[in-house]
Structure 1
Amino acid sequence: MSAHEMRTYGNWRKPTSPGIGRLGLAGTLALFGGTILAIVVMFVSWIGAMAVGVLVGFSLVPLLMRDRHGRNGLQWATARVSWQRGKMRGEHLYRSGPLGRIDLGTCKLPGLSATSRLCEAQDAYGRPFALLTVPATNHHTVVLTCNADGASLVDDEQIDTWVAYWGQWLAGLGLEPGLVSASVTVEAAPDTGERLRQEVYGNIRPNAPDLARRVLADVVESYPRGSASLSTYIALTYSGAPRGSDVRRTSEKPLPFREFGVRFRWSGMKWVVVREG
């Protein structure tokens, strides 16, 4: 038996801004602009050129500083000033509803989702689902619920296959027309064991041996201890901008919305999904 070599997954590249070192694009442009300005001033006065160079150098120091989130000093200072201004105005507090501070007493979502709207649609099997629309950007988001398998009691070869399939799916998102973003959310919570209890007791036969009943009862009582319940959600956001000869697509107009091999059609007061092909 040959020992299985532990597979490591990598080739991840952190997105970086083009430019010289830590300056980034904006800092590099400022450096070139300051250099050109210093050269122009040098024809008039050496002292003025040196003063311009010192000012440009000091102005670029915040752009060289980076925190653990990758933000430079200018971005960090801007965020802090914006936070303090919003805090002084009370904008950091959110209270919706009839007694809230929202106009007309509505229960809107906070932040960037305040202008979003929720539309109801139906899939090819007639099951309703939600379509989240942001009119300001004309973006439409669909959330898919997934059941991710755990890695417990699974061979390493199977895990490598799952990772390869996941990478293939991510690569396919780059070819999906109209897709502007995709996000994966994994929620972990302590498992109460209720689902396992229903699954086991719902499948026990009346004539099952006593030993099997005792073993399953022990599993139901001991297995959920320390275990977690995982829920996986994938949010896919599409743009309603026109492509080619198509017109601009919105959630109010009866326009086809072709994604994932299906067509969304507005019928009456609801969306209807029709299979293509």
Structure 2
Amino acid sequence: MSETRGYGGYREVTGFGLGRLGTSGTAIILATVVGLAFTTFVSLVLAFMGLLIAIPVLALTIVPVGDSRRTVVQHVAWNVRNAWANRRASDAHAADVLEEVSRGENLPGVLAPLKPLTVEDGRGGSQCLLWNRRTGILSAVLKVSPVGTTLADTADTEAWVRNYGSWLADLGFTPIISSVVFTCESSPTGGVDQRAYTLARMERDGRNAPKLAKTIMKKVVNQSRTTTADVQMRVTVNFDLSKASPQPKTLSEGAAEVVRWLPRIESALAAAGATVTERASTASVIRNIRAAFDPAIRVFLSDAPDEEADELLSWSDAGPLRTESTKDVYYHDSGYSVTWVFKAPPSGVVRHHILLKLVSPGKYYRRFSLVYRPYTAAQAAEIVEREIQAGTLRRIWNAKTKKDETQREYDDRVRARKAAQEESMGAGLGQFTMYITTTVRNEETLAAACADIEDRVSASKLQFRRARGAQAAAFATSLGYGIEPTAGLSRSAAQRWLA
């Protein structure tokens, strides 16, 4: 029996920075030191006074503090803005009949630029594309049904992982794809009554079945759980049509270009073990977003197509009636949500089931979202070479300052060289981040739901932190619908596609 293959080599792009300072922070400190050194030729008193001023200023404005990697000044500015927003209730939302400023069909917060487009899917049907009017990105939502790895052979699992890695590497040669979002939602409610469903099918279709088969089926049903969990998985592909060749001139041409790319993506996902069941319709997107904001109605929503009901849905129906955000909790309609954001990659070797704890159903509703933004092939080659040079520079700096190289610094240089070797052999390079959101209907159970997330995170070798002060934005981003955090939330008018 072969051993399970391990995967590793995850590292952050550090550049030429020393420690946590980063490239720009290191350059500013070195420039300050050089400036003070030249000042000593003019006046020692002036140099000493400059040193007394430079130390606290640099410590407050350059050195990052905490998990969010903000400086002290940035922390203060963030908290002041957050307190001012809470005092003015500028981050609250209420969809009343009479509003001071009508929001039209716009959703609250960072979801406001999104607009659904119903287009032909090239197969005789229609599908939904989400247009981000601020960034110009068009997003296609694909519903997938992944093959489970629990009962799969090791060889099949490794083949799926290899095909998945090949697809990610291929994204480096398709600049039109800005990012890909993988989202998994699991809920203990809204599932199928498995026992009643099976007994009803036995009564209807098993009338002529052998008595022994009926007896075995009844025993199996009685020993199984009554209700199954509701698990939904989707892949959202964000297209930056400003990088298309030739660049489309109208929105309809851009939508046609997106639809043309989807069969290739669906084939790649199928080879990676995630079969695309269908392309999301506008009505299904509306229902899903609405259920995220109002979990009380999730049990009443069905994925079964209902053309008459779908015709009555509008984009404004996807939004909440009332929301309010605090530093740690996001209140929305009948739900209370807390979101965690990715902090650091695993330092060691991981297995293919590293995310199983985070996506498997539990007692509380949970949404896991992974965002992957590929570098182009040219950018990847430049980045890995620059990282090797930066590691060499830090080693020379340690030697000049007579400082021993730590094991962490040595391992980082080894991983940088390994990444360059893999990139030269055809591997892709990209940025990725993750979000975890838990939602409960009773505020008293929120602490237990958060503890469940913390336990699952600790068992996965991944590091997350709470999105303190940004719960509303993190909640919206974790939905996986057209918001790409790694590319920013806006662009200038000169760079925006179809401005």
**Could you state the TM-score of these two structures normalised by the residue count of structure 2?**
0.46
SS in 2 for 1:162: helix
SS in 1 for 2:186: strand
Give the equivalent residue in structure 2 for 1:141.
139
Output one character per residue of 1:76-124: Cα deviation in whole Å (capped at 9) or x when no partner. Answer: 44432321222222122122353455x3252422222212211111212
After TM superposition, the structure 1 stretch with the greater mean CA deviation from structure 2, 218-227 or 162-171, is 218-227
Asked if 1 retains the 8 angstrom alpha-carbon contact of 2:138 and 2:255, the reply is no
Asked if 2 retains the 8 angstrom alpha-carbon contact of 1:143 and 1:233, the reply is yes
The one-letter amino acid paired with 2:157 is: I
Matches within 5 A, 1:1-277: 3-62=1-60, 63-100=62-99, 103-190=101-188, 192-194=191-193, 198=197, 202=201, 204-224=205-225, 228-241=229-242, 243-244=244-245, 246-247=246-247, 249-251=249-251, 253-254=252-253, 257-259=256-258, 261-262=260-261
The 1:21/1:129 distance shift into structure 2, 3 A limit, reads same
SS in 2 for 1:118: strand
Asked if 1 retains the 8 angstrom alpha-carbon contact of 2:143 and 2:235, the reply is yes
Rounded Cα–Cα distance in structure 2 between residues aligned with 1:257 and 1:41: 63
Asked if 1 retains the 8 angstrom alpha-carbon contact of 2:16 and 2:22, the reply is yes
Asked if 2 retains the 8 angstrom alpha-carbon contact of 1:38 and 1:49, the reply is yes
Asked if 2 retains the 8 angstrom alpha-carbon contact of 1:193 and 1:224, the reply is no
- Greater per-residue helix proportion: 2
Q: CA deviation at 1:23?
A: 0.6
SS in 1 for 2:8: coil
Give the equivalent residue in structure 2 for 1:271.
none
Rounded Cα–Cα distance in structure 1 between residues aligned with 2:213 and 2:30: 78
The 1:173/1:194 distance shift into structure 2, 3 A limit, reads farther
**Could you state the TM-score of these two structures normalised by the residue count of structure 1?**
0.77
**Percent same amino acid among aligned pairs?**
23
Aligned residues: 258
The 1:169/1:254 distance shift into structure 2, 3 A limit, reads closer
Q: CA deviation at 1:202?
A: 4.4
The one-letter amino acid paired with 2:160 is: W
Asked if 1 retains the 8 angstrom alpha-carbon contact of 2:176 and 2:239, the reply is yes
Asked if 1 retains the 8 angstrom alpha-carbon contact of 2:186 and 2:232, the reply is yes
Indicate the RMSD between aligned Cα atoms, in angstroms. 3.1
Q: CA deviation at 1:72?
A: 4.7
Asked if 1 retains the 8 angstrom alpha-carbon contact of 2:195 and 2:227, the reply is no
Asked if 1 retains the 8 angstrom alpha-carbon contact of 2:195 and 2:222, the reply is no
The one-letter amino acid paired with 2:119 is: A
Asked if 2 retains the 8 angstrom alpha-carbon contact of 1:193 and 1:220, the reply is no
Q: CA deviation at 1:196?
A: 8.1
Asked if 2 retains the 8 angstrom alpha-carbon contact of 1:240 and 1:250, the reply is no
The one-letter amino acid paired with 2:237 is: L
Rounded Cα–Cα distance in structure 2 between residues aligned with 1:147 and 1:18: 43
Rounded Cα–Cα distance in structure 2 between residues aligned with 1:200 and 1:180: 48
Output one character per residue of 1:131-184: Cα deviation in whole Å (capped at 9) or x when no partner. Answer: 111122211111111111222322222222222222222222222231111111
SS in 2 for 1:68: coil
Q: CA deviation at 1:56?
A: 2.7
Question: Any runs of at least 4 consecutive aligned residues in structure 1 with deviations exceeding 6 A, and if so which?
Answer: none
The one-letter amino acid paired with 2:128 is: A
Asked if 1 retains the 8 angstrom alpha-carbon contact of 2:194 and 2:227, the reply is no
The one-letter amino acid paired with 1:54 is: L
SS in 2 for 1:153: coil
Rounded Cα–Cα distance in structure 2 between residues aligned with 1:166 and 1:214: 43
The 1:94/1:150 distance shift into structure 2, 3 A limit, reads same
Structure 2 unaligned regions, length at least 5: 263-499
Asked if 2 retains the 8 angstrom alpha-carbon contact of 1:143 and 1:235, the reply is yes
Rounded Cα–Cα distance in structure 2 between residues aligned with 1:5 and 1:54: 59
| Higher RCO (C-alpha under 8 Å, 6+ residues apart) | 2
